Amino acid sequence: MTSLSRELADFLIELSIAMQKFAIYPVGHPMLANTAERIERRLMPLLAGQDTLSLGVAHKQLVIEGIATEENHAVLRDLAQRLHAHHLGAVKFMRGVDQAELREFLLAVGAEQSRDAVPIGLLPEETMPSWPHVRLFRLAYEHLELVEEEIAPDLQMPGGRGAGGARSAQLWVGLARAALAGGDAHGVARVPRSEGNAPHGGADGEEPDPAHASADPEAVACAIDEHKRDAAYDQVIVGYLLQIADELRTAEGRDATALRGRVSRLVRAMRPETLRTLLAMGNDVGQRRKFILDATQGMAVDAVLELVRAGADVSKQTVSHSMLRMLSKLAQHAGSDGARGAVADAALRDNVRMLVSQWSLEDPNPGAYREVLEGMSKSRPAPVGASASYPVEDERMVQMALEIGVIGESTWRAVDSLLAKGRLLTLLALLERAPRPAAAQLLWDRLATTDRVRSLLAEPQPDLSATEKLVARIGVAAAEPLIDALESERDPRRQTQIVNLLARLGADVTEFVVRRLRGSSPDLQAQLLVLLGRLPALPAGFSAVEWAKDRSPLVRREAIKLMLRRPATRDQGITLGLLDDDERTILVALNDAAIDCPPSAIPVIMNRVDRDVFPAPLRALAIGAAARARSADILEWLLRFVMIGRKTFFGGERLPPKSPELLAALSALNTHWASDRRVAEVLERARRSTDPEIRSAASSTTIARPSLGMRAIPAEKP
């Protein structure tokens, strides 16, 4: 749907924020001081080129110049709901409005209402707030109320109280309220009577019952026709029509059928000039086209034809008499029962959609449409799958086949055409919501194959969404092509995506993993070990220790990670990692040891630190990990890092030069042995240091994790 202009969106957001402020803060609060001025500053440019600005109010949306705001825009939805809670259908701002009027408007509409307060739209006409340049339009009439959980029984859709039924009823009642608010003194338009009958059981000469009239599409159409054309009123009507068309595009079931019938009767009963006026609002061709396309999918065929005629007039498009005559003939066939009616209905909607989609052309009837006219001019629609001079769109052909449960040669041609165009994901979406499982299964058997998974993954930019759906359908049989793709893939991001797909296959995939581990490249072996780490259990008889001693550092590292994830092998994994000569593997082991260092790892850490086997940043991390053992041997070992300085001129020792090892040792001593006499002397000496890092390490209550940035370690996968 078309977006609002930046200036208009800024004004609406400013207005919504202002109303929130007036709801929160009392009158006179400093937060309200400049609110009206800010709104005026946003509003003035909008009124510079037009006399008025009208905001139509739907339940959760605003409609401005025929454009409806998005329901999921939290700020604008809040503004619409606040105005709707006051039973207001529209607000009109006129040129000349000033700060004083805007402030009074905010006080009246924005202030939080008490529970027993009467909404503005329900106040008597003479007591409603009014200003010279701001006007409120009410939607109130006492014969019809609508709340979320309580819908008048005569307005409920068949199927009752489900979420879909409530939504359908809300949209229809909202439209009825908006339309009938412009009627007589009671807010109810007079219903045109059929000859010799009073509507809804009323006796001849009596006024129709308001609640029944509000539910009657002819009454609503009559109210819209007879209302004096006003932008604010029309904004609301258009807003509800846009929402209803969007709802009907996807809604299903009895609730949608009832709503479709009501709105179709409304469109048929409305005067053509009224329909043209509503479609012309905002002069937005894109939004008009979308509305008609949505209606094409959801409304009855005769209502679709009315919208096409009106839309063509407003858009100044040429729809030939022959085209309209042929569409009318299809509409007649669409009303019949059986497969013929279903095919005619689908063909009508498909051709209307194609016609409206080409309204950007000067003449929407050239070339291919002459062929369409020829095909449609037959007295009866062609059967499904019949060859024609202008074939049915591929997607529509597949959809029709799935709906009627008949798969033929034309269906396979349409499937192949969609695949050739790279629209596999579209096909899968049709299959997932197919109403007839037997027909869908035939297509699934054609599409969900390991060869197709293999070809998808071989593409330069594979469609991973489609691949995911196929893998979920195929199951563990997809493991082999996935592992093959993993072996040839070099992009780390895509490798991770393939591993994720394999992990979703569950424990059954372990058989393929174990079989491929031996004899594969180190890259694939490492990725398969990553995959095993994602599974709930390791294969029977599998040991990661063997791979933790592999020649490849990449394989060793992933095997040790796998060992660290399981309590039974964690201690051994830490020890093997500390004994490794790969810096990243050592870092993996030290990070785990820093959380809980096993006793068997302490001698390894002390020995490798003393022999300078670990790089300097890793030695600091190792000191912090070993210190958690809190043994006497560790204390003596740590003191060696802080008491080997030379004697000072005045006697006593001084600290060694600053290093990661010194900082780590000071931090560990302060955390675990601060009460020891020798440690206390060292810490006191460190706290008098001129170096802030040394002072910080001697004062910290937790072991600092030294920065590993002293020596950059180049990136390596995985």
Domain hosting 232: range is: 153-169+183-380
Percent of the chain surpassing pLDDT 70:
70
- Both tokens of 186, joined, read 């009671």
The residue assigned the tokens 């490794």 is: 580
- Mean pLDDT, rounded, for 465-481: 92
Residue with more model confidence, 319 or 667: 667
pLDDT band at 90 (very low <50, low <70, confident <90, very high): confident
Q: What is the dihedral of CA 575, 579, 583, 586, to 10 degrees?
A: 10
> What φ, ψ does residue 429 adopt, rounded to 5°?
-65, -40
Predicted structure pTM score: 0.44
222 and 274 inside one domain: yes
201 and 116 inside one domain: no
For position 561, what pLDDT does the model report? 92
- Interval 586-615: pLDDT, tens: 999 999 988 888 988 999 999 998 888 888
Taking every pair of C-alpha atoms in the chain, what is the biggest distance, in angstroms?
123
Distances (CA, A) of 520 to 488, 491, 716: 11, 18, 19
351 and 223 inside one domain: yes
Is residue 557 pLDDT above 70, yes or no? yes
63 and 201 inside one domain: no
Residue with more model confidence, 710 or 608: 608
Instruction: Give the residue from 327, 348, 380 where a domain finishes.
Output: 380
- Interval 153-175: pLDDT, tens: 444 444 443 444 556 666 777 77
Among 149-163, 239-253, 419-433, 524-538, where is mean pLDDT lowest? 149-163
193 and 110 inside one domain: no
Residue with more model confidence, 184 or 555: 555
- Interval 352-363: pLDDT, tens: 766 666 555 444
pLDDT band at 471 (very low <50, low <70, confident <90, very high): very high
714 and 620 inside one domain: yes
For position 633, what pLDDT does the model report? 87
For position 555, what pLDDT does the model report? 93
- Interval 201-221: pLDDT, tens: 343 444 444 444 446 788 888
For position 157, what pLDDT does the model report? 43
Is residue 469 pLDDT above 50, yes or no? yes
Among 372-376, 467-471, 474-478, where is mean pLDDT lowest? 372-376
347 and 217 inside one domain: yes
711 lies in a domain? yes
512 lies in a domain? no
257 and 114 inside one domain: no
Is residue 662 pLDDT above 70, yes or no? yes
322 lies in a domain? yes
Cβ contact 307:299 at 8 Å: yes
- Both tokens of 707, joined, read 């920065």
| Residue 602: burial class (beta carbons within 10 Å; 0-12, 13-18, 19+) | buried
100 and 162 inside one domain: no
294 and 373 inside one domain: yes
100 and 164 inside one domain: no
**Average pLDDT, rounded, for the chain:** 76
30 lies in a domain? yes
31 lies in a domain? yes
pLDDT band at 151 (very low <50, low <70, confident <90, very high): very low
Instruction: Give the residue from 380, 400, 415 where a domain finishes.
Output: 380
66 and 204 inside one domain: no
Instruction: Give the residue from 358, 380, 402 where a domain finishes.
Output: 380
544 lies in a domain? no
- Interval 109-141: pLDDT, tens: 886 665 667 888 888 877 888 899 998 887 644
Cβ contact 563:545 at 8 Å: yes
446 lies in a domain? no
Number of domains in the chain: 3
576 lies in a domain? no
